[in-house]
A = this chain, B = another copy of it.
């Protein structure tokens, strides 16, 4: 067993030689995902943007940083699948729940939940690291389905925006796994 003492103890450890199975894809490493380069945040609603960090077209899943400079809204919608969230900064919540999340808070929303996301006024912008499994089913005033949003629409949205701001649509595909 490796003796784990001294700040450089790991220098004595031999890395694994066969790191990836032959079919395995490379990892994704993205530095400081909640950084300030506004070009990476894709307008999603009138007041809220999304920066993609990982996308799985085949599983209809994506990870992003949801961003609102000031008060913001993602209108009422229903999730057939799960959602994970970790709050990086700001203040947000769902009108349907009692808690209000700030930096460091974790939320798991179970499949079969509908809600309305609100970014509240705060000295810091809202930045939330989400892992979403699509689709979002938009709901009208009466709670009836009124369209949907899924990974394929997300990819299209991101590609169009990244092409426009000069990052290039191709970049989005580098996040596919």
Residue positions of A touching B, CB distance < 8 A: 2, 4, 6-10, 13-21, 23-35, 45-47, 53-54, 63, 70-73, 75-76, 84, 86, 88, 95-97, 99, 101, 103-116, 118, 120-121, 129, 131, 139, 141, 143, 177
Q: Is the interface of A mostly helix, strand, loop or mixed?
A: loop
Known pairs A10-B116, A33-B104; list 6 more (Cβ under 8 Å): A8-B71, A10-B118, A23-B112, A30-B105, A33-B86, A35-B104
Q: Pick the contact of A95: B10, B109, B143 (CB < 8 A).
A: B10
Complex: A97 Cα to B120 Cα, angstroms: 39
CB distance from A49 to the nearest CB of B (A): 13
Q: Which of chain B's residues has its CB closest to A19's CB? A: B96
Q: Which of B6, B31, B63, B105 contacts A108 (CB 8 A)?
A: B63
A19–B73 CB distance below 8 A: no
Instruction: Specify the chain B residue showing the minimal Cβ separation from A70.
Output: B7
